[in-house]
Amino acid sequence: MYRNETFCTWSIRGRPNTFVAFNLLSLDLKASLNCVNDNLEFFDGLSASSLSLGRQCGISHTTSIVSTSNLMYIVLNRSKNVGGAFTARYSIQECNQTMTETSGRIQSPGYPGRYFPNLRCFWSINVDPGMLIVLSLPNISLESSSLCVYDNVQIFDGRSTDTRSLGKFCGRTFSSVISSSSSLLVMFRSDGMVESSGFFGNYTAFSCNLTTTQTFGHLTSPGYPWNYSSNVTCSMTIIGQLGTTVILSFNDVALDSCLDCSCDYVEVFDGASTRAPSLGRYCNSSANGTKSSRNLVHLLFHTDGVGVNRGFNVTFLVLGLPKGAECLSTHQCSIGVCTKGQCDCPDDQFYDSLQTSCVLKYCKLHQCNDTRQCQESLTCVQGHCECLESETFDVITAACIKRLFHGEECSLQLENICLSSEMVCRPDFENTSRCLCKDSSIFNGYTCSSGKLSDSSR
């Protein structure tokens, strides 16, 4: 609101990479043609020599003026003792951003409220070399028009608007896009007419070239199952342990194919690079599985600059895994079985001294060098598989069980089940079998002793 001065100025300065959104809520100035007399004028900078954003006069309600930078200069000219007042609000809005994180979010200024008119905002996404960027805008609501000539979001495959456009979007339609390099530029433009709620989106960077030592998994084209980008070349290498081989099974192949697979294709090599023998080049759904002759497999994914498609999805398994290797299924293991996610011998077997096969664990009294060679519950004692001193062997279950204390219930079928040789398993006065002292001794609270009194106690 101004007072009786005939000339007033205001300067607004926001943070770098922001813009000034000035909302004129009400205005009461003397009207004139083109507002040449009394007026409120806005400049896109810090002085009246900057580009004019327009003049306002007369009586108006709720007008928005937006700068293209973080600066705005406002000038009021009026005739003396003529006119009323104006009320307004302004805000500093984020617009131009450079983003270098591997993931992030972008949104139109003011989202989810209505965006401002006459905007031109940029988001420059730049990640580490060798990575690609997938951008998805799940919520988009812009003024709809043929060819998106009014409000729109346009995405460029690089750092500037001179690079290839990946698409221009408006209305409520958007499909995810993938860059062909480590840079992506998003430009949002709005005109001075219809405004809507705008958009928000998420981006994620991922490596196109990778090397894995996993023993099983999936490899896919960038962004699968969304369409890959044009002019992409990706290398993927699987490295197994020495002595292993790799089997590949294609679950899905949908590429922009030519007759000889020279356009878009995925090629498999029997080694660590494209210099190794080729195991096959694939570009359509007829792709079959293949198996390497060694522990290395290299995949090359190539696209040209014409059409795009869904891409590919392939499962790989490393076969011939040694003891202790991570596994998904038993047929990956060179010996033993896949148990608890690792190649190992079954519970009733152990590895022989050469670690080349699994053999049955030894029974009771069998010679041994290590407890792991003995059947479950047995211990290697003085070179033989035995029960511990506090245990006895149950021939029915073929397992060691703990010996029982005085008074504990026992089974008459088990030998040496009682902890002390002075005790036996026999029926008590209730005819319940318990570990009790032999007839010639009594229990003194700790062990069984003779029932006869000594001479010193007489």
CA-based nearest residue to 92, from 17, 197, 18: 18
Q: How high is the pLDDT of residue 379?
A: 79
* CB-based contact 109:23 (threshold 8 Å): no
Amino acid of residue 40:
L
Q: Is residue 392 in a domain?
A: yes
pLDDT tens, position by position, 236-288: 999 999 999 999 999 999 998 888 888 999 999 999 999 999 999 998 877 78
Q: How high is the pLDDT of residue 4?
A: 53
Q: How high is the pLDDT of residue 457?
A: 36
Q: How high is the pLDDT of residue 315?
A: 96
140 and 56 share one domain: no
Q: Is residue 338 in a domain?
A: no
| Domains: count for the chain | 5
236 and 296 share one domain: yes
367 and 273 share one domain: no
79 and 103 share one domain: no
* CB-based contact 314:224 (threshold 8 Å): no
Q: How high is the pLDDT of residue 454?
A: 42
Q: Is residue 457 in a domain?
A: no
Strand arrangement, sheet containing 7-13: 7-13, 71-77, 39-43, 52-56
Q: How high is the pLDDT of residue 181?
A: 86
Q: Domain of residue 76: give its range.
A: 7-94
Q: Are strands 423-427 and 71-77 parallel, antiparallel or unpaired?
A: unpaired
275 and 264 share one domain: yes
169 and 225 share one domain: no
Q: How high is the pLDDT of residue 456?
A: 38
225 and 278 share one domain: yes
The last residue of a domain, from among 159, 188, 206: 206
pLDDT tens, position by position, 68-110: 888 999 999 887 666 667 899 998 888 888 999 999 999 888 7
User: pTM (2 decimals)?
Assistant: 0.56
Check residue 333 and report its DSSP letter: B
Nearby residues of 255 by Cβ (< 8 Å), 6 or more positions away: 263, 264, 265, 266, 282, 283, 284, 303, 309, 311, 312
Check residue 337 and report its DSSP letter: E
Amino acid of residue 110:
G
Q: How high is the pLDDT of residue 153?
A: 94
Residue ranges of the chain with per-residue pLDDT less than 70: 1-5, 80-84, 350-355, 359-365, 377, 395-398, 451-458
Q: Is residue 339 in a domain?
A: no
Q: Is residue 86 in a domain?
A: yes
Q: How high is the pLDDT of residue 450?
A: 74
End-to-end alpha carbon distance in the chain: 120
380 and 409 share one domain: no
Residue 359, SS3 per DSSP: strand
User: What are φ and ψ of residue 128, in 5° steps?
Assistant: -60, 145
CATH number at residue 315: 2.60.120.290
Q: Is residue 355 in a domain?
A: no
Q: How many CA atoms lie within 13 A of 171 on its CB side?
A: 11
120 and 54 share one domain: no
Structure tokens at 304: 């040209």
Q: Is residue 343 in a domain?
A: no
Strand arrangement, sheet containing 59-66: 59-66, 18-28, 86-94
The last residue of a domain, from among 187, 206, 225: 206
Structure tokens at 287: 């792709």
308 and 233 share one domain: yes
189 and 114 share one domain: yes
Nearby residues of 369 by Cβ (< 8 Å), 6 or more positions away: 380, 383
Nearby residues of 381 by Cβ (< 8 Å), 6 or more positions away: 388
Nearby residues of 438 by Cβ (< 8 Å), 6 or more positions away: 422, 423, 424, 448
Q: Which residue has the tokens 């009394």?
A: 38
Q: Is residue 246 in a domain?
A: yes
Distance CA 117, CA 75 (A): 21
221 and 196 share one domain: no
Q: How high is the pLDDT of residue 364?
A: 65
Q: How many CA atoms lie within 13 A of 420 on its CB side?
A: 18
Nearby residues of 15 by Cβ (< 8 Å), 6 or more positions away: 70, 92
The last residue of a domain, from among 319, 342, 372: 319
* CB-based contact 94:110 (threshold 8 Å): no
